[in-house]
Structure 1
Amino acid sequence: MVEPCRSWQEVGGAVDPSPTSELAEAAADLHGEPDVESTVQSVLEYAQAITGGDGVAVMIRQAGRPAVMSATSPEAAEADLVQIQCAEGPGLQAMCVRDAVLVDDVAADARWLSWSRPVSELGFQSVLSLGLGTHRTSLGALSVYSSRARAFPTDRAELARLYARHASVALVSARHESGLRRAIHARHIIGQAQGVLMERYGLDAERAFAMLRNSARHQGVTLTQRAEQILASRPADVS
């Protein structure tokens, strides 16, 4: 009997590791996206183009737990959601081992029985899941679904594995840049709110910040949220 689910190390086969123009173009475009959402969308589209899959989904760790972030079709999103609901499947394994997991025939899969039947009913017969992350951290997993069994030959699977590395770097960079933009925006909003309080109450910057901080604590909101409230309703007094 053919083993229905294999990690990439078990697939074997010699493949030319040099980047193709297809992979190089994808990598360049991924790094050119302006934010996390746009990067994820491009990750999905290029993964589908490179592998020839029928549906692709991205599962991301949020607060330590996996969640479906985006997908190219409702069926692909549902297939990933099944993994989370069943707490088993190739995407979750790929996320843990930070490598690729190949399912040649979903219907014949004997490892994840709770997962295989509903995914087969969605019309998928093979899956290639790719771990997303760095050597230090796991971001999530990219799963490519196909309506055909054994849809991912060795050369395509290896290309997808290399692509996942580029996608991981692009996602890490996008998250970092997004975090920096949020931090800059927050500092700008807080500075504006400080200015309002300084003008309104004749305070210096230090005392205005203390008033803002105490007001945020009193209302049970973040500093940025309280600053936004002050700017949105300037005539209102500070409680």
Structure 2
Amino acid sequence: MGDMSSPKHDLALRMAELARSIAPPIGVDAVLHDVSKTAKELIPGVDEAGILLVGRNNTHETLGPTSSLMNQLDELQMKYHEGPCLEAALDEVVIRTDDFRDEPRFPNYAPEVVKLGVLSALSFKLYTADRTAGALNLFGFQPNLWDSEAETIGMVLAAHAAAAILASREGEQLQSALSTRDRIGQAKGIIMERFKIDDVRAFGMLRQLSQDTNTKLIEVAQRVIDTRGDQ
């Protein structure tokens, strides 16, 4: 039997301990559902909650909705290009509607939500980035519901939601960058082995192929990887 106290064995044990102790990160969807649920629990009168993200070209996502009604409310805003969520996401920090039956700011949207039984709304800007804007949106089936304390709690929850979304997006960008780097490195290794050249010349070949074919470097790298078994 091998020496169980060897440095390699100690390292393997330590890595196993770390793997068990590092909890899997909670996903952004779970965080946003938790934000919506917490809004309902902490703010009296909140019947529906969710997050609206607005992208370019009139695209949108409804995240963490408490029910399918939130999706309907967001779709109506995108249809009419008006509403508290859109206004908060794109312009204002907090938008409050005490009674949609008397809401001149949203002449098309307001009557539609009244038909759905919704009478009040409170929306908080999350952030505005290059390609997206977002808002945390709270709706109530009764009018004149919320005071300054409700707005304060809403702003705290909105900040929490914004942090989760931005961290998620940064993580996606990081994963993309790492994947790109790894694929270029893999393609470079294949070229080095195939043509018996060093890594500088291999990268030069990749870059030249990219320029000659007017193709992104990562796409050229992927083609090299795909032809790895070919001679």
Same fold (TM over 0.5): yes
- Cα offsets for 1:52-98 (capped at 9, x unmatched): 53322322243485622424122201211221221111112112334
User: What is aligned with 1:167?
Assistant: 161
Task: Report if the CA contact (8 A) 1:127-1:143 is conserved.
Answer: yes
**Residue-pair matches, total:** 206
Task: Report if the CA contact (8 A) 2:55-2:131 is conserved.
Answer: no
User: What is aligned with 1:111?
Assistant: 105
- Cα RMSD for the two superposed structures: 3.4
Task: Report if the CA contact (8 A) 1:59-1:66 is conserved.
Answer: no
2:126 to 132, 136, 160: 132
Structure 2's unaligned 5+ residue stretches are: 1-23
- Cα offsets for 1:130-157 (capped at 9, x unmatched): 1012799974111112222234343223
Instruction: Between the two structures, name the one with larger relative contact order (CA 8 Å, sep ≥ 6).
Output: 1
2:86 to 86, 89, 92: 92
Separation of aligned partners in 1, 2:196 and 2:89: 54
Structure 1 residues 112 and 63, CA, compared in 2 at 3 Å: closer, same or farther? Answer: closer
| 1:160, distance to aligned residue in structure 2 (A) | 0.9
1:188 to 166, 177, 182: 182
Structure 1 residues 200 and 121, CA, compared in 2 at 3 Å: closer, same or farther? Answer: farther
1:60 aligns with 2:60: no
- Cα offsets for 1:25-68 (capped at 9, x unmatched): xxxxxxx9555445444443433443353322322243485622
1:50 aligns with 2:50: no
Q: Structure 1 vs Structure 2: percent identity of aligned residues?
A: 25
Structure 1's unaligned 5+ residue stretches are: 1-31
Structure 1 residues 192 and 167, CA, compared in 2 at 3 Å: closer, same or farther? Answer: same
Q: Compute the TM-score of the two structures, normalised by the length of structure 1.
A: 0.69
Deviates more, 1:34-43 or 1:86-95: 34-43
User: What is aligned with 2:200?
Assistant: 206
